[in-house]
Amino acid sequence: MAKAVYLWEMEQILQQIEAYKSEMAAFEATTPDAVEAFRIKYLGTKGLVKSVLGEMKNVPPDQRKEFGQVLNEFKAFAEARYEALQGAAAPISAAANAGIDWSLPADPTEVGTRHPLSIVRGQMVSIFRRLGFAVAEGPEIEDDWHNFGAMNLPEDHPARDMQDTFYIQQNPDWLLRTHTSSVQARVMETQKPPIRVICPGRVYRNETISARAHCFFHQVEGLYIDENVSFADLKQTLYFFVQEMFGKDVKVRFRPSYFPFTEPSAEMDISCQICSGKGCNICKHTGWVEILGSGMVHPKVLENFGIDSTKYTGFAFGMGVERITQLKYQVNDLRLYSQNDMRFLKQFTGAL
């Protein structure tokens, strides 16, 4: 008897479910409000799906499984319909609500640009990397030994003068490195030959800031130590570098020079990239500009690190990133690099 009542009720509920389903299928909603009305009506806490699901408690245990499936399917149908309505209505209605025309192009986003010195340092590093040089870095706050002593700068060398070097007040043995040659020292301290490194980094000198001088700038140092390394290797390496950097037409010349850490020493000039050698104020009307110092590593420097100078030889060089950038991009005032003037910096958009 009781079962018959349930069967009858179930029939009614199943019919009701079908009716709700066709109602939902026909439900149209083009605004978020209408979609929300659908949700409240069918899926809300007091919605129709909940109330039909509530019938479960009246179903006799042996029919629960079958009825449960019907109800689950009904619930899934309502949820799928809700999602479909949401998807269809959202973009149009949100735009209409906010009064936005989504077909208009977006405002341009300000994209940062790389600093010219970073761009050029990257180019320099990648050229030497292709020749097998590894990158080494060292501290900007150095001790006297790594910056000067190990590099064979005698106590009374003018470069040690307070004029050029920033010393750390609390400890006069500490200073801001004046050149990246200090990284050479740190590499030789920890590595055995063969050594082939470049050391890019910032260096400091106590100079009055002007268009031609700054209290900090950037260098790339190179060091190559192995058996049978010769001056010809030095020349060829640097010649390859400038050709990669400035193109095949660049001319080079070496002039004898003096550095305490190399013997013999040479400075390298390249044909002026601004006036192509015709003469301008960058090359002081000579057609040549000096870009680096170099030489064969002084035997004393090798011995300072226990490297046998009868077995090993090496070459080293150091050059300024600002100078290379000046020649590459015709930047003629060193102060521009650190003034953060967007009109200057933005010109390097698109450079690698």
Chain residues binding ligand DAH by CB under 6 A are 179, 181, 221, 259, 261-262, 293-295, 316-318
Instruction: Give the Cα separation of 266 and 299 in Å (integer).
Output: 16
CB of 119 or CB of 301, closer to ligand DAH: 301
CB of 78 or CB of 296, closer to ligand DAH: 296
Q: Is 45 exposed, middle or buried (0-12, 13-18, 19+ CB in 10 A)?
A: exposed
Instruction: Give the Cα separation of 349 and 352 in Å (integer).
Output: 9
Nearest CA to 314 among 221, 244, 242?
Answer: 221
Query: Minimum distance from CB of 327 to ligand DAH (Å)?
Result: 17
Please answer whether residues 265 and 317 qualify as being in contact, where contact means their C-beta atoms are separated by less than 8 angstroms: no
Nearest CA to 249 among 265, 230, 283, 272?
Answer: 272
CB of 13 or CB of 199, closer to ligand DAH: 199
Query: Minimum distance from CB of 333 to ligand DAH (Å)?
Result: 21
Query: Minimum distance from CB of 179 to ligand DAH (Å)?
Result: 3
Distance of CA 162 to the CA centre of its chain: 36
Residue 284 backbone zone (phi > 0: left; psi -120 to 50: alpha; other: beta): left
CB of 78 or CB of 301, closer to ligand DAH: 301
For the chain, the C-alpha Rg in angstroms (whole number) is 38
CB of 272 or CB of 316, closer to ligand DAH: 316
CB of 128 or CB of 259, closer to ligand DAH: 259
Query: Minimum distance from CB of 126 to ligand DAH (Å)?
Result: 20
Instruction: Give the Cα separation of 245 and 150 in Å (integer).
Output: 31
List the alpha helices (DSSP H) in the chain. 2-26, 32-38, 48-53, 64-98, 116-130, 144-147, 181-190, 231-246, 299-304, 321-329, 342-345
Query: Minimum distance from CB of 149 to ligand DAH (Å)?
Result: 14
Nearest CA to 129 among 121, 118, 117?
Answer: 121
Find tokens 């910056």 and name the residue: 147
CB of 277 or CB of 295, closer to ligand DAH: 295
Query: Minimum distance from CB of 113 to ligand DAH (Å)?
Result: 29
